[in-house]
Chain A
């Protein structure tokens, strides 16, 4: 048994040569070379040659097939009929794929077959040499030590310390340069507290933007809703950012199906119509799957499940908080409106979420 832990020097400790006495027999060496058919009989060598040539020919055919796919099949926009164009695209894609596959496999398989059958297959033994000798290492150590001594850095700690301080500070400007990665005008976390919802903002259908009457929802209905003011937001990116905080799911349940509502939320619903933020409190996917009989809302990303009848409490999955509910009512014209913004930040939990709102809209 060769000993462990005795190789501190890093020298190669052999097992199987010097220490071979630990094994039942000595290393018997390479097995005798067994010639291949092609080595002993030119007939088989000839056959291999033909096979390789055939593979190369297949490659040529593949390339031709690729050209057929590219030039003989028209591009999609050349077709008047949409479905014919789609079929052509599929045919083209298949021809390009199969053609180039044959072209490549023909070469690859051919060359490998050539190497396997015709090129020499004698195993070769090459010696490993140690990476560097110990003498080299000692020499290197000496040089490094001398160089460090010559800089006098050890003798002059003032130099060393100020250099360290300078080197630590110097990268900071490079870091600060990235400050403007955030392009928004009002930098800070306050903006995450507010969505476009507010008193009197109408609920409109996503994406068409038409307002909704209470009677538009029958029991069991679900509607995907955005604030009417969203369309006024200029700029695609800003609009999407606002939409990302304001998407709402609207449901109508039978009034008897509601569980006990949190006090203060009694007038947040309207004739069994209830609204909640669609942004999951876990990591923010849209919680859009509504089961009308169980009143469960399911997030398809990580399967957090919320109960719409029980104040959107979490009944399953990784979400750590209920979905925020949007208080709703109807305006004089009978259209559904929000009676305020969400009373808590929507979406995933972030570090500053618990901060007291300076505007005093809601407590921590």
Chain B
């Protein structure tokens, strides 16, 4: 191996240093490269091509809003003291003056009222955090629905999923830091959920809170997690994530000139760098605008944490909403029968908090399913190829429908997280909303699956229709015989290519293994495979295309394929 590598002789090294650049840029390049290297980076990235599509930018938004949370958060740490030791508040906010509170709450108030720009930076930090999780979520939805997680990007999808979970962790630990009543009750819920974990739960709660809830310890501990451990993990995973993006090169939507073997787009230098760099300022600008004009987490409303008070509308930030909602959804009793039970033991019995544990199952399934989805899908479809061209969501109807079903499930849990506000703002009964949501929790995904699949197939048929018969031009013609017909405009060959260049495989039956047997898992796979592929709209074939041209019988299309290249040809239906 080493034999193939070139080796410089002493003389050649000197010769390399003899390079005399003519321009100023050259001199700088020479200076840097001879000391720390770097021309390799420039050659690799200077003209690297990135496909351009607006849906590809959510990942960038996530990255940028993360950077903004880190910068604004660093600012906040200079004033915020995450201590649970008590003080008597004497700052500017009149309705809290003279109250005993933790240093954490007092300094959060000081930041808001007595540090110029402190309120702005706190709001910027919080809005950026909301946007961070939002952007990650939308980014993952985009990746899912376009099939960008497929080989070779499965591992990067896993890294992305881990980033989403870390984002939730960063958000929740930050939400809890000011030590007011709202987030204190949030922690109390966490305490209750931890205690529900069989065998070890009670002790996990003791270890987190340093004893019985709420204790003296939890805020500094959450602070360490919030400003050090979780951001460090996020940074590392972002580095891995971006490294893999560079390794794989970006995916692209199918279209003329785009193939599995190329990347079509704009080079980093200068266009893409300018756009991406400018976009950072746009994201920051939008966040500044929101932070300056919309109040977020008015923590002075809630008062210092105390286990007695609580407030109507006690909710977590949006991304914890589904967790809150699914807890609200679960009934504690089925009719008169309590779901909670005791396992009888010689020492009395062990209690199982079923109403807390059961709701965690769907949430855990969604997150677990998210991590392993690339392998599940590849197993069902039997597709082991590399994919660099994305699926248009309609061209993968089953995946799109499945994603819509899971989203519906998630949305119902999310909505339940704010059912009290839905009740007051739409004049509905809290209890009715809950009953209906319980039904929809099971029924909604089924409806969404069926509907989405039908819509996808209908859109595919529409594509086929357009490809073979053209767009309706909106012009009615009268034939010499007196018949009326609408003019149709054939798509350009570029559009035609986008419409027809997809695959719709037929279901493949069960395969025998090495011993010549069909295993039970293989039978299951074959059944799922049938479900996946059985509803299909065949892409337009070459024969159909030629036949369609023939049928329309126009001279200018008699030359077949080339004819379609005349852009904007008018075709009569």
Interface residues of A (CB under 8 A from B): 1-2, 4-8, 10, 12-17, 21-31, 70, 75-77, 82, 85, 89, 92-112, 114-116, 119-121, 123-128, 131, 139, 178, 181-184, 187, 189, 191-192, 206-207, 224, 226, 235-238, 240-241, 243-245, 247, 278-280, 282-286, 288-289, 300-304, 314, 316-321, 347-356, 364
Report Cα–Cα, A139/B1, bound state, in Å: 10
- CB contacts (< 8 Å) of A128 on chain B: these are 249, 260-263, 388
The listed residue (B213, B310, B501, B539) touching A27 by CB distance below 8 A is B501
Q: Smallest CB–CB gap between B118 and chain A, Å?
A: 10
User: A4 and B278: CB pair below 8 A?
Assistant: no
User: B356 and A348: CB pair below 8 A?
Assistant: yes
9 additional contacts (CB under 8 A) given A126-B49, A244-B188, A349-B340: A14-B260, A24-B500, A24-B539, A25-B564, A101-B288, A112-B279, A119-B274, A184-B206, A241-B214
Interface positions of B from 198 to 213, Cβ below 8 Å from A: 198-203, 205-208, 210-213
User: A13 and B212: CB pair below 8 A?
Assistant: no
**Given A17-B259, A314-B332 in contact, is the A282-B493 Cβ separation under 8 Å?**
no
Report Cα–Cα, A345/B285, bound state, in Å: 52
B237 interface residue per 8 A CB criterion: no
User: B355 and A282: CB pair below 8 A?
Assistant: yes
Report Cα–Cα, A236/B248, bound state, in Å: 55
B45 interface residue per 8 A CB criterion: no
Q: Smallest CB–CB gap between B387 and chain A, Å?
A: 9
B104 interface residue per 8 A CB criterion: no
Interface positions of B from 386 to 402, Cβ below 8 Å from A: 386, 388-389
**Given A111-B278, A284-B192 in contact, is the A349-B356 Cβ separation under 8 Å?**
yes
**Given A1-B503, A96-B120, A126-B263 in contact, is the A240-B206 Cβ separation under 8 Å?**
no
Report Cα–Cα, A75/B494, bound state, in Å: 62
Report Cα–Cα, A30/B493, bound state, in Å: 11
Report Cα–Cα, A65/B100, bound state, in Å: 38
Q: From B198, which residue of chain A is reached at the shortest CB distance?
A: A351
Report Cα–Cα, A108/B293, bound state, in Å: 20
The listed residue (B119, B197, B278, B539) touching A23 by CB distance below 8 A is B539
Report Cα–Cα, A126/B384, bound state, in Å: 24
B55 interface residue per 8 A CB criterion: no
**Given A96-B120, A108-B280, A349-B353 in contact, is the A301-B494 Cβ separation under 8 Å?**
no
B282 interface residue per 8 A CB criterion: yes
- CB contacts (< 8 Å) of B117 on chain A: these are 70, 92, 96
Report Cα–Cα, A330/B552, bound state, in Å: 99
Report Cα–Cα, A31/B207, bound state, in Å: 63
Report Cα–Cα, A139/B196, bound state, in Å: 52
User: B331 and A317: CB pair below 8 A?
Assistant: yes
Report Cα–Cα, A4/B385, bound state, in Å: 8
Report Cα–Cα, A28/B497, bound state, in Å: 7
**Given A108-B279, A240-B307 in contact, is the A24-B540 Cβ separation under 8 Å?**
yes
Report Cα–Cα, A98/B350, bound state, in Å: 58
- CB contacts (< 8 Å) of B263 on chain A: these are 125-128
Interface positions of B from 272 to 297, Cβ below 8 Å from A: 274-275, 277-286, 288-293
User: A119 and B278: CB pair below 8 A?
Assistant: no
**Given A278-B308, A347-B192, A351-B351 in contact, is the A318-B330 Cβ separation under 8 Å?**
yes
User: B285 and A102: CB pair below 8 A?
Assistant: yes
User: A318 and B503: CB pair below 8 A?
Assistant: no
- CB contacts (< 8 Å) of B467 on chain A: these are 24
- CB contacts (< 8 Å) of B191 on chain A: these are 283-284, 348
User: A126 and B307: CB pair below 8 A?
Assistant: no
Report Cα–Cα, A107/B382, bound state, in Å: 49
Q: From B492, which residue of chain A is reached at the shortest CB distance?
A: A31
Q: From A236, which residue of chain B is reached at the shortest CB distance?
A: B86
- CB contacts (< 8 Å) of A288 on chain B: these are 308-310
B165 interface residue per 8 A CB criterion: no
User: A318 and B292: CB pair below 8 A?
Assistant: no
- A selection of 30 A-B contacts at a CB cut-off of 8 Å is A5-B508, A12-B261, A14-B259, A24-B467, A99-B292, A104-B284, A108-B285, A112-B279, A115-B270, A120-B271, A124-B49, A124-B264, A127-B261, A181-B217, A184-B206, A224-B308, A240-B305, A244-B307, A247-B308, A283-B193, A283-B196, A283-B356, A284-B192, A301-B310, A318-B327, A350-B202, A351-B197, A351-B202, A351-B351, A354-B351
Top 8 A-B pairs, shortest CB-CB distance? A97-B292, A283-B192, A108-B281, A237-B216, A354-B349, A320-B340, A105-B285, A111-B278
B566 interface residue per 8 A CB criterion: no
Q: From A110, which residue of chain B is reached at the shortest CB distance?
A: B278
Interface centre among B286, B307, B384, B434 (most CB of A within 10 A): B307
- CB contacts (< 8 Å) of B420 on chain A: these are 300, 303
- CB contacts (< 8 Å) of B561 on chain A: these are 25-26
**Could you give, for residues 498-541 of chain B, a 1 whenever the CB lies within 8 Å of some chain A CB and a 0 otherwise?**
00110111101000000000000000000000000000000111
Q: From B181, which residue of chain A is reached at the shortest CB distance?
A: A286
User: A349 and B262: CB pair below 8 A?
Assistant: no
The listed residue (A28, A97, A241, A316) touching B256 by CB distance below 8 A is A28
User: B292 and A93: CB pair below 8 A?
Assistant: yes
Report Cα–Cα, A8/B113, bound state, in Å: 63
User: A318 and B309: CB pair below 8 A?
Assistant: no
Q: Smallest CB–CB gap between A172 and chain B, Å?
A: 16
B572 interface residue per 8 A CB criterion: no
The listed residue (A1, A5, A12, A352) touching B202 by CB distance below 8 A is A352
User: A183 and B211: CB pair below 8 A?
Assistant: yes
Q: Smallest CB–CB gap between B500 and chain A, Å?
A: 5
- Which stretch in B227-235, B311-319, B449-457 binds the other chain? B311-319
User: B307 and A243: CB pair below 8 A?
Assistant: yes
**Given A104-B282, A108-B280, A109-B282 in contact, is the A97-B355 Cβ separation under 8 Å?**
no
- CB contacts (< 8 Å) of B267 on chain A: these are 124
- CB contacts (< 8 Å) of A238 on chain B: these are 216
The listed residue (B198, B278, B306, B381) touching A112 by CB distance below 8 A is B278
User: A108 and B284: CB pair below 8 A?
Assistant: yes
Report Cα–Cα, A303/B525, bound state, in Å: 42
Q: Smallest CB–CB gap between A39 and chain B, Å?
A: 14
Report Cα–Cα, A103/B49, bound state, in Å: 30
Q: Smallest CB–CB gap between A275 and chain B, Å?
A: 14
Interface centre among A6, A106, A123, A178 (most CB of B within 10 A): A123
**Given A12-B386, A224-B308 in contact, is the A320-B332 Cβ separation under 8 Å?**
yes
Q: Smallest CB–CB gap between A233 and chain B, Å?
A: 12
Q: From A224, which residue of chain B is reached at the shortest CB distance?
A: B308
**Given A70-B116, A318-B328 in contact, is the A183-B216 Cβ separation under 8 Å?**
yes
- CB contacts (< 8 Å) of A285 on chain B: these are 185, 188-189, 192, 310, 314
User: B348 and A348: CB pair below 8 A?
Assistant: no
Report Cα–Cα, A128/B48, bound state, in Å: 11
User: B434 and A303: CB pair below 8 A?
Assistant: yes
The listed residue (B260, B330, B347) touching A12 by CB distance below 8 A is B260
User: B288 and A100: CB pair below 8 A?
Assistant: yes
Report Cα–Cα, A314/B263, bound state, in Å: 61
**Given A244-B307, A348-B192 in contact, is the A108-B289 Cβ separation under 8 Å?**
no
- CB contacts (< 8 Å) of A108 on chain B: these are 278-285
B403 interface residue per 8 A CB criterion: no
User: B288 and A97: CB pair below 8 A?
Assistant: yes
Q: From A107, which residue of chain B is reached at the shortest CB distance?
A: B281
B236 interface residue per 8 A CB criterion: no
User: B247 and A131: CB pair below 8 A?
Assistant: yes
Q: Smallest CB–CB gap between B399 and chain A, Å?
A: 14
Q: Smallest CB–CB gap between A142 and chain B, Å?
A: 11
